[in-house]
Structure 1
Amino acid sequence: MFLKNAWYVACTPDEIEGRPLGRKICNESMVFFRGADGAVTALEDFCPHRGAPLSLGFMRDGQLVCGYHGLTMGVEGKCVSMPGQRVGGFPALRRFPAVERYGFVWVWPGDPAQADPAKIHHLEWAENPEWAYGGGLYHIACDYRLMIDNLMDLTHETYVHASSIGQAEIEEAAPETKLEGETVVTRRFMEGITPPPFWAAALRGNGLADNVPCDRWQICRFSAPSHVMIEVGVAHAGNGGYHADARHKASSVVVDFITPETDTSIWYFWGMARNFKPHDTELTATIREGQGKIFAEDLEMLEAQQRNLLAHSTRNLLKLNIDSGGVQSRKMLDRLIAAEQQAQAASQASGAGQPSAVAS
């Protein structure tokens, strides 16, 4: 189950440069491309002629040409031409609201009438030149909620990421979880620790000593439909920890956009935004490489977990104190999904009709 009336990251702009991109999101097969004006369009990935995926076609003069028989689609979802055939009566395809913002393409798989771009979460680091960002994309065969659980409980770092960001002090520091408005926040602070390899390298990258006691923090923030932003960092001990002056710390925001593909698979857009040495492209590449290896370890564990859960679907799982962040996030999702489904049922019962096939 997932929210339909919400903005999800669909792709990055480079994925649709000069070509269409097929991607399934929330069980909806979509094709993304740029029209003649450069704006992003998202249509259902289905040629009305013979049902071929339009994403297997190509772009010509800002229009999408089906790679099977040449049927050409415009950005409004209407067929505009086909060799030797009148097309005026062809039915329009479903068009999904799509917006390009903050270096990502966002899509709304639900009711187009509710797709307000103002609802896209503001990303300060994406617009501020004092920040740098590097990231990537993984396709992972797991329920999107398993990834939310993973990110809202970082105790697993001690074991899954033992060679990079894991250390015993993580599980020794009890997390605190609170609901702040429509955001679930889990905080964990460690004092006087030795920085693990990834953070030792980050300290060096910021011109700081990596062989002195440090304070470390992890502040995980979940917001619907499936975004997790994690403030992380280390500061030389005795300088205020999380609140230390920038001269004494290396801190970042781990960016996690989790886009459901199906009930048991996701598109995971991962990255790290940092506000130290933002113009050091070599440092950005180094951090991105290190983080990519860390998330690859999560991928292996999550896919194995999903296979186990499918094989033992009736077994009950334990809920521990460390699971509070994930539990609260799931409760929020359950509440929002139930409200959305109730509103949809009420609309259908009242005869209000269905969402238009073509977004305005």
Structure 2
Amino acid sequence: MKLLRNNVKTSAGYIPGEQPIDPRVIKLNTNENPYPPSPRVLEAIHAVTAEQLRRYPSPSGQAFREAAAQLHNVTPDHILTFNGGDELLSVAIRAAADENDTVAFFEPSYSLYPVLTQIHGARANILSYNIDGTRWSLPANVENADAAIMLIVNPNAPSGHLEPVEKLAAIAASFRGLLVIDEAYVDFAPQSSLDLVRQFPNVLILRTMSKGYSLAGLRFGYAIAQPQLLREIEKVRDSYPVDAIAIAAATAAINDQPYARDTWQKVKAERARMTAELQKLGFTMPESHSNFVLATAPQKSDAKSIYETLKARGILVRWWQLPRIADKVRITIGTPEQNNRLLAELATLV
């Protein structure tokens, strides 16, 4: 009896970051915003009526589309909503790549990319970042990659480094497939690739409400692309991908830009302070434009041991047994109080 496709049976699946049950644990491992969402979000949730729950939601999440379009200075048909950025990635691969087509992505990068590629039955073209000490950059001539779709997370995860928009524009101009620029962390960066949507019909930008808007528990993401591309992508998307509560909450969050931008500034200020303090302890790291830092353990220290000891002391950071990053820990920027506790513990370990 065969119940599952071989690509599913042989896949290791995606391994999410640990989600502790104990509220006393300081959680600096999965890049949530350390500050709560806008108060308008809870107001919007409380205002959802029984009638809204009885009926199916707007298939397009129209209220959110209009709010996001106004923010990004595009028309609403440039916006398409999804049940989180991960669903967008899955839909984009299914829409652009036939089985046995090639999906190009980079390593180290978001570890969901190879999982989605394998489950779909596509082939992976894994391109390696150039890493010179703390300097990360895309390899040369990636625009010539033979692939149906290319995935670039910018700012990068796990490094936090930012590729120039000009480099991404050059890739978009020459690459012959769909170019997905994953901007999950762009709210903490000084620039976005949004203008490339206006220039290139093959560019799709991923945005999420999880990081910058403190809605990781809600699962809400969206695409920005030219309308003719999104009309095709929409054929693959679920019929009602975002529910009435999510639409109301996400719309309230994106409409409260002063609140969101205040949290971004707090995170960026703490990121600068944490970078300086970690360097004093002997850690090295790329310049981060995200809400985390990727810190290489000091000489005579071991990243795995740091991760395990911190966990035993009630602090979670992220560590991977993977080539090129096994000597590093990724640290989400927390509140000043959380960061101070982490620094105090690290000072006893290195």
TM bucket by the smaller chain? 0.3 to 0.5
Query: What TM-score, normalized by structure 2, do the two folds share?
Result: 0.33
- Higher normalized contact order (CA 8 Å, seq sep 6+, divided by chain length): 2
Which structure shows the bigger proportion of residues in strand conformation? 1
Query: What TM-score, normalized by structure 1, do the two folds share?
Result: 0.32
Which structure shows the bigger proportion of residues in helix conformation? 2
